[in-house]
């Protein structure tokens, strides 16, 4: 290849100064981690990188935003918050970072994660809720609703967090099942309106699924719907059920399970988003096999397909609980102890990293990196609601 450099006498080098428009074009193509660092370049960059139009454009342009796993462990008064890059090798130690958390976002009590949406995590801090963007540190406190604190003994509490693109609003959804009282209660918190509102609940009798804070109680956001997998009582039977809250239509609905899904034989089952699809991961026999079902066409029962059967006896710990998928389709999961295992989409073992603080006993969630901030609540939004 020819280079012409030096073929002409160059004039005295002028400094090339890029207009802000072109700097913006470069910054839009950088990952969140770089941009948060470049906030300290100068005042105009801080303003640009914090600008809501810029952050929104940046989020929408990112074809595959970096996905990270958030792990909260440590003692109650000293939470240790780890964030792992899910697209790096499990054995790449620089992919693990410890986040310093502000006391305002993170009270010194133990927290639980109730959902994940557009870079924000919903934290239950036991006295209030908090919406927190771990990439930027932006956070907003949300009061508990009166219904959730009025002294009723709750049978179950399903909570989730999502975004309604039609109103550009973030919503916290909760469904309460009160012990011994008929009818479920459902409420939605609108960030724009900055208040809770009662909505029509789904008519189902739920079975307790262990702890109020178990993994299935935390909703899974996908296709503008928040999903929960649980058991319900349809006398004389107890059945597995997926129900969802549609954030744009603002109503609850049921998502059908696979026709031949036999949950009597299962040891554990969990809903996950893998590669953009709704997946049902079920351990069929302990230490033996895990089945992954994918709903290829959303809401269509006949599209459920059993895609992978992972032979667990080939894995280091004999267990595998999927958490998320990577850019190239591998599946990362907990190894039943405190480590992580990565399997290919064919179910072959690729990597295992024991002892990295991952455990379903501790709060854990997958989030995307984003620079987004939350909309301010306006008088208009309050009136609309």
Partner 1 sequence: MQKTEGEESKAENEEVKQVTLMTSDGVKMKVEISIVYEMEIVRSFIEVNDADHSVPFPLPNVSSHTLDLIIELVKNEYDDEFMKTFSHDELKEVLVAANYLNMKTLLDFIATAIANLLEKKSVEFIRNFFNIVNDFTPEEEAEIRKTNEWVFQDLDED
The Cα-based distances of 18 to 23, 24, 383 in angstroms read: 6, 10, 45
Out of 1, 12, 63, 237, the only residue in the binding site for partner 1 (CB under 8 A) is 1
Residue span binding partner 1 (CB under 8 A) among the ranges 34-42, 160-168, 251-259, 284-292? 34-42
Q: Does 94 bind partner 1 (CB under 8 A)?
A: yes
Options 67, 136, 341, 370; binder of partner 1; rule CB under 8 A = 136
Interacting span for partner 1 (CB under 8 A) from 3-11, 187-195, 212-220, 359-367:
3-11
The stretch among 42-50, 114-122, 235-243, 253-261 that binds partner 1 (CB under 8 A) is 42-50
34 touches partner 1 by CB under 8 A: yes
Which of 80, 103, 121, 137: binder of partner 1 (CB under 8 A)? 137
Task: Find the binding residues for partner 1 in span 279-308 (CB under 8 A).
Answer: none
Q: What share of the chain is helix, strand, coil (3-state, %, to 5)?
A: 15, 40, 45
Q: Compute the distance between CA of residue 189 and CA of residue 86 in angstroms, rounded to an integer.
A: 30
Q: Taking CB under 8 A as the rule, does residue 75 contact partner 1?
A: no
Task: State the Cα–Cα distance between residues 30 and 41, nearest whole angstrom.
Answer: 15
**Could you say which of 12, 33, 311, 334 contacts partner 1 (CB under 8 A)?**
33
Q: Residue 264: helix, strand or coil by DSSP?
A: coil
CB of 121 to partner 1, least distance (A): 15
Specify whether the CB–CB gap between 184 and 143 falls below 8 A. no
Q: Which two tokens stand for residue 316?
A: 């280091």
Find the shortest distance in angstroms from Cβ 99 to partner 1. 6
Name residue 157's beta-bridge partners: 176
Spatial distance between the Cα atoms of 32 and 120, rounded to a whole number of angstroms: 13
Rounded to the nearest whole angstrom, what is the least distance from the CB of residue 92 to partner 1 in the complex? 10
| Nearer CB in complex with partner 1: 73/209 | 73
Q: How far apart, in whole angstroms, are the C-alpha atoms of residue 287 and residue 222?
A: 30
Contacts to partner 1 from residues 336-365, by CB under 8 A: none
CB 196 within 8 A of CB 208: no
Note whether 41 binds partner 1 by CB under 8 A.
yes
Interface with partner 1, residue 13, by CB under 8 A: yes
- Going from the C-alpha of 265 to that of each of 214, 290, 310, the distances in angstroms are 21, 12, 16
Shortest Cβ 205–partner 1 spacing (Å): 45
Q: Residue 210: name the closest of 231, 196, 189, 180 by CA.
A: 231
Residue 370: is the preceding peptide bond cis (ω within 30°)? Answer: no
If binding is defined by CB under 8 A, does position 37 make contact with partner 1?
Answer: yes
Q: Which one of residues 57, 98, 108, 351 is an interface residue with partner 1 (CB under 8 A)?
A: 98
Helices (H), the chain: 20-27, 32-38, 43-50, 52-61, 379-384
Position among 89, 102, 109, 150 found at the interface with partner 1 (CB under 8 A) = 102
Q: By the 8 A CB rule, do 49 and 38 touch?
A: yes
**In terms of DSSP bridges, do strands 268-274 and 128-132 run parallel, antiparallel, or are they unpaired?**
unpaired
Using rule CB under 8 A, residue 18 touches partner 1: yes
Question: Least distance from C-beta 111 to partner 1, angstroms?
Answer: 19
Q: How many CB atoms lie within 10 A of CB 322?
A: 20
Interatomic CA distance for residues 86 and 66, integer angstroms:
8
Q: Which of 36, 147, 232, 275 binds partner 1 (CB under 8 A)?
A: 36
Which of 12, 16, 77, 153 is in the footprint of partner 1 by CB under 8 A?
16
User: Residues interacting with partner 1, by CB under 8 A?
Assistant: 1-5, 7-8, 10-11, 13, 15-19, 21-23, 25-31, 33-34, 36-43, 45-46, 83, 94, 97-100, 102, 135-137
């Amino acid at each position: 290849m020819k280079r012409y450099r030096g073929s002409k006498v160059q004039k005295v080098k002028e400094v090339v100064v890029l207009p802000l428009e072109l700097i913006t074009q470069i910054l839009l193509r950088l990952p969140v981690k770089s941009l948060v660092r470049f906030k300290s370049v100068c005042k105009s960059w801080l303003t640009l990188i914090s600008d809501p139009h810029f952050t929104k454009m940046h989020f929408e342009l990112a074809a595959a935003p970096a996905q990270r796993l958030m792990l909260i462990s440590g003692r109650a008064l000293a939470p240790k918050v780890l964030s792992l890059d899910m697209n790096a090798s499990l054995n790449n130690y620089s992919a693990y970072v410890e986040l310093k958390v502000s006391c305002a976002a993170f009270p010194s009590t133990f927290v639980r994660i109730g959902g994940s949406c557009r870079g924000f995590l919903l934290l239950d801090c036991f006295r209030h809720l908090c919406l927190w963007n771990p990439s930027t540190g932006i956070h907003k406190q949300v009061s508990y609703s009166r219904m959730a604190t009025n002294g009723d003994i709750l049978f179950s509490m399903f909570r989730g967090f999502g975004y309604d693109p039609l109103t550009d609003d973030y919503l916290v959804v909760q469904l309460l099942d009160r012990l011994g009282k008929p009818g479920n209660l459902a409420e939605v918190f609108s960030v724009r309106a900055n208040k809770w509102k009662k909505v029509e609940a789904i008519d189902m009798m739920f079975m307790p699924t262990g702890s109020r804070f178990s993994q299935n109680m935390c909703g899974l956001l996908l296709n503008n719907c928040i999903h929960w997998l649980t058991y319900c009582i349809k006398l004389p039977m107890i059945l597995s059920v997926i129900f969802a809250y549609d954030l744009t239509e603002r109503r609850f609905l049921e998502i059908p399970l696979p026709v031949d899904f036999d949950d009597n034989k299962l040891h554990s089952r969990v809903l996950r988003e893998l590669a953009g699809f709704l997946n049902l991961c079920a351990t069929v026999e302990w230490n033996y096999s895990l089945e992954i079902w994918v709903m290829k066409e959303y809401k269509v029962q006949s599209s459920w397909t059993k895609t992978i059967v992972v032979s667990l006896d080939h894995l280091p710990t004999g267990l595998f609980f999927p958490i998320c998928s990577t850019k190239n389709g591998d599946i990362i999961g907990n190894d039943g102890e405190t480590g992580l295992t990565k399997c290919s989409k064919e179910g072959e073992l690729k990597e295992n990293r024991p002892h990295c603080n991952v455990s379903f006993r501790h709060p854990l969630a997958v989030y995307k990196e984003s620079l987004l901030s939350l909309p301010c609540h306006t008088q208009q939004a309050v009136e609309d609601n």
